[in-house]
Chains A and B, each alone.
Chain A
Amino acid sequence: EVQLVESGGGLVQPGGSPRLSCAASGFTFSSYDMHWVRQATGKGLEWVSAIGTAGDTYYPGSVKGRFTISRENAKNSLYLQMNSLRAGDTAVYYCARGRGSGWYFDYWGQGTLVTVSS
């Protein structure tokens, strides 16, 4: 059974730099693209970052230069290093397994809430 479990969320001060983790199981982690998607409370989904099987990374303009996605295949783990956080980054952050051939997300974690507030 595919499982994705995020951790690392919590209350963060503006300007803070938390790192989120996603523990994957039930599939060959190294063979899949992985993504982070976020959702502010009561708002829609926003794609945040992607990492390919070769470690290539991609970001939308809203987080480029502040967020860094990485993976550690030996530990079946995905990470999101977030820097210079601001109130607008407050959201539930989901990790999702990508299907590169069609660019869609077939499995999602339960999410971890990051609240940016002083």
Chain B
Amino acid sequence: QSALTQPASVSGSPGQSITISCTGTSGDVGSYNFVSWYQQHPGTAPKLMIYEANKRPSGISNRFSGSKSGNTASLTISGLQAEDEADYYCCSYTGRNTGVFGGGTKLTVL
């Protein structure tokens, strides 16, 4: 199973919005709404930010939103803040209780 495709890096200024894409295939992202997104700061464990493509766990800011169209899922962060600077990973279900992550995107807040 090949990793999902994410841009290596994105950047934005405080207050701006950015979107990170996650492209898969008809066998993963395109077939299931089971796409999740994780934020990881250096030296720490990943943190769940979005699940089932567009749902936010309790305690996650509404500045984070997710969507999906066809084989591509997206994470949008609005009102960028310095603490949003981190690595972001998407993950998709691929059937039979297996899954695959994206390669990760480094977000820089300028």
Contact = CB atoms under 8 A, between A and B. Distances in A.
A104 B101 CA distance: 11
A58 B93 CA distance: 13
A108 interface: yes
A113 B27 CA distance: 32
Q: Choose among B32, B48, B100 the residue with the greatest number of A CB atoms under 10 Å from its CB.
A: B48
Interface residues of A, number: 25
Contacts of A103: 32, 34, 36, 93, 97, 99
B101 A58 contact: no
Interface string A95-110: 0000110111110111
A102 B36 contact: yes
A52 interface: yes
A109 B44 CA distance: 9
A22 to B, nearest CB: 12
B96 A45 contact: no
A100 B96 CA distance: 11
B38 A102 contact: no
B96 A104 contact: no
Interface of B: 1, 3, 32, 34, 36, 38, 40, 44-48, 51-52, 55, 57, 89, 91, 93, 96-104
Interface of A: 33, 37, 44-47, 50, 52, 56, 58-61, 94, 99-100, 102-106, 108-111
26 contacts: A33-B97, A37-B101, A44-B3, A44-B89, A44-B103, A45-B38, A45-B40, A45-B89, A46-B101, A47-B98, A47-B101, A56-B97, A60-B1, A60-B98, A94-B45, A102-B36, A102-B52, A103-B93, A103-B97, A104-B36, A105-B36, A106-B51, A106-B57, A108-B46, A108-B47, A110-B44
